[in-house]
Amino acid sequence: MRKYLTPIGMMVGAAALIWAGSARAEPPASMTYLAETPALIACDTRPQMDEVIAAIKDGKVKEKLVEMQHTVDAKGEPVCVYGNLASVVFGLSEHVGEIQDRDRLVDVWVANVGNRNAAFFVLWGEVVDATGV
């Protein structure tokens, strides 16, 4: 993964996640090209993304993202980042289901995406119900 945000930026960004109000419930269809994505959580592998999903369920996503920002892959880059991605093509997406994220219920997908540099996974979600927001 490329380094998109500093650890402090990760903590601030993680608070917003993508759940800020996507106009589209599902991620783009397979083979859809996006010149730029909204801010997303992106991880090198699916098991890493599963760790992020578990952290969301446990209310510890900020901590997990900071941890994964400091965990580097063979290229010396963070295994998970939060930010906008440029020039990606969406592959298959898997519906994870609804997750309670603090005061909102979010419908979540994990999508396999790639560009000329790498293939990786992103978390896509839509707020289903928000209370107290």
Number of domain units in the chain: 1
Give a yes or no: residue 2 inside a domain. no
Give a yes or no: residue 100 inside a domain. yes
Name the average pLDDT for the chain. 83
- Is residue 124 pLDDT above 70, yes or no? yes
The tens digit of pLDDT for each residue in 45-88 reads 999 999 999 999 999 999 999 999 999 999 899 999 999 988 99
Give a yes or no: residue 66 inside a domain. yes
* More confident call, 131 vs 19: 131
The half-sphere exposure of 3 on its side-chain side, counting CA atoms within 13 A, is 11
Question: Tell me, what's the pLDDT at 9?
Answer: 40
Give a yes or no: residue 1 inside a domain. no
Cβ atoms of residues 43 and 71 within 8 Å: no
The whole domain housing 43 covers: 7-130
* More confident call, 17 vs 91: 91
Give a yes or no: residue 124 inside a domain. yes
